[in-house]
Each structure stands twice: as C-alpha cells, then as structure tokens.
Amino acid sequence: MGPVVIVLIILVVLVFIALIKTIQVIPQASAAIVERFGRYTRTLNAGLNIVVPFIDTIRNRIDLREQVVPFPPQPVITQDNLVVNIDTVIYYQVTDARAATYEVASYIQAIEQLTVTTLRNIIGGMDLERTLTSREEINAALRGVLDEATGKWGIRVNRVELKAIEPPTSIQDSMEKQMRADRDKRAAILTAEGIRQSQILTAEGEKQSAILRAEGEAKAAALKAEGEAQAIRTVFESIHAGDPDQKLLSYQYLQMLPKIAEGDANKLWIVPSEIGDALKGLSGAFGNFGGGPSAPGPVPGQATGTERREKPSITD
C-alpha cells in the first residue's frame, strides 16, 4: 500500500469524524450546552443541530422533563424538643439549561441541602402534634422557600411531599395507647347507645302491645255485654209474647234447682221467696188436677211473694 492510499484513508476518517461532530441530534424534552473554546455559545434545542467540529463542544446535556427525587430520612427537632425523622420527595423541572449548568455546581445536591435546612426551620417552630397534623401547611411553606431559592438556578419546584413523619419510639407507644383508649371509648359509647335504643324500641313495642291488648279486651267485653243484653231482651220479649201463667213459671223454677246445686263449693243455699210461691202454685196445680183440695189461699193481711215482687221493666 502506497503513501497516497494511506493519506486518502486518513482524510476519509477525518472527514467522517468531522461530520459526526458537526451534526448533533438532540432528543425531545432535552437541551445541550455548546461551548466554543471553553466559553458558552448557545443552547441546542430538540432536533437536528449543526456545530463547528473541533471548535464547538457539547458541555452538558440536560433533561427538561419533570424529575422526582426522594431524599433519605432527616432528623428534625420539634419545638417541644422531640426528634422526628422526615422523608421528603421533591418534584422539580429544569426551565433554563444555561442557569442550571453555570449558576450552581450540582443543583440536585443544592436542592437536597436547601430542603433539609428549610424543613428544620419550619418544624422547629411547631410542636409534635401540629407537625403530625399539618402536612399541607409544611408542604406549602417548603415549596415556597425552595421555589424562590431555585428560581435563579433555572429550576422550578412543582411539588414537595412529606412521605413519612416518624416520632420517637416512646412517643409512638404513647400514641398507640391513646388511640386504643379512644377506640375503646367510642366502642363503649356506641354499645351503650345501641342498648339504649334497643330498650326504647322494646318498651315502645310493649306499650303498643298493651294498648292493643286492652283495646281488644274492651271491645270483647263490650260485644259480650251487648250479646248478653240482646239475649236477655230476646228472652224477656219471648216470655211476654207467650204470656206464661204461674204454673209454667213454677215448673221453670224447679228445672233451675239442679243447676243451682251444681259445684262442690255450694255449701249454703239461699232460697228466695219466689221459689216457695212457685212450689205452692205447683202443688195447687197438681191438687186441682187430681181432684184434691186446693192450696189454702193467702191469709188476709199477709203479703205474698208474688205481691211483693214488682214486674221488672226492660228498657231498650
């Protein structure tokens, strides 16, 4: 191989390298910083870009998308002298590639340190209880400080989130006991309320049942009394319609005597005067039927049972 061929090969290689260095393709949502002899020249945006080979150099390629950076737990002292460990997550985005390259040496490290110092200042003015219940307030205050400080670095802090706030172990035990006591208290209150409602409903049901039972008994008694009155009225009307004489009444008295004697508790009988008059009438009837002497009449001046009894009046 001659020297001419070697020179041609070297020239082709140099031209190929020059073309590679001349054409720069920047991906979407990215930027590149171009320096000429060590001095900032321009920022390359997404797409095809042409630079001067061996004169222009690419200093830094920066991702312009939103980034998520979790920071390790940091010990922070509250206002009531308790040490808590706080995990934070930062959502940021590079808005100015030149400022992010030249205004700060490492913006990730700078954001982390600024987050820690700001968080200690904010938590130092709060007690533990407020720290645990004021996450939104802490996030807003931390984001405001970070956004103001990182603006000159070409960084925009979109969100700041507290992942976890871990109090000391002794405080955690006390909090668990307190929460357990609160849950037991609420459970006892709910149980007592349920028992009270159950008793109220039971009493109300018994009340309604007693009212309905009393109304039923009253209606039954009224219907029974109405039936008995109707039966008495029917019997009385039948008796008056039949126009019974003393003999028939005497016979009916004798038929009722066995019913009066029913029962083991009937030790004492009270015989009304009407039964004696009925027996007299009945014996007279049998005497007249057999041709014997009739029953003696009443003694003058002596009132009989029939004369003493007034005829009952039934009013509707």
pLDDT tens for residues 158-174? 888 888 888 877 776 77
Same domain flag for 161 and 120: yes
Total number of domains in the chain? 2
Same domain flag for 76 and 26: no
pTM attached to this predicted model: 0.52
At 129 the pLDDT is 83
Same domain flag for 43 and 117: no
Report if residue 117 sits inside a domain. Answer: yes
Per-residue pLDDT tens for 41-89?
A: 999 999 888 888 888 888 889 999 999 999 888 888 888 888 888 888 9
Same domain flag for 83 and 146: yes
At 275 the pLDDT is 57
Report if residue 163 sits inside a domain. Answer: yes
Identify the domain containing residue 21 by its residue range.
Answer: 15-62
284 pLDDT higher than 60: no
Average pLDDT over residues 224-236: 80
At 172 the pLDDT is 66
Residue 284 tokens read as 């007279």
- Contacts of residues 143-150 at CB distance under 8 Å and 24 or more positions apart, as own/partner, are 145/114, 145/118, 146/90, 146/111, 146/114, 146/115, 146/118, 149/114, 150/92, 150/107, 150/110, 150/111, 150/114
Same domain flag for 96 and 162: yes
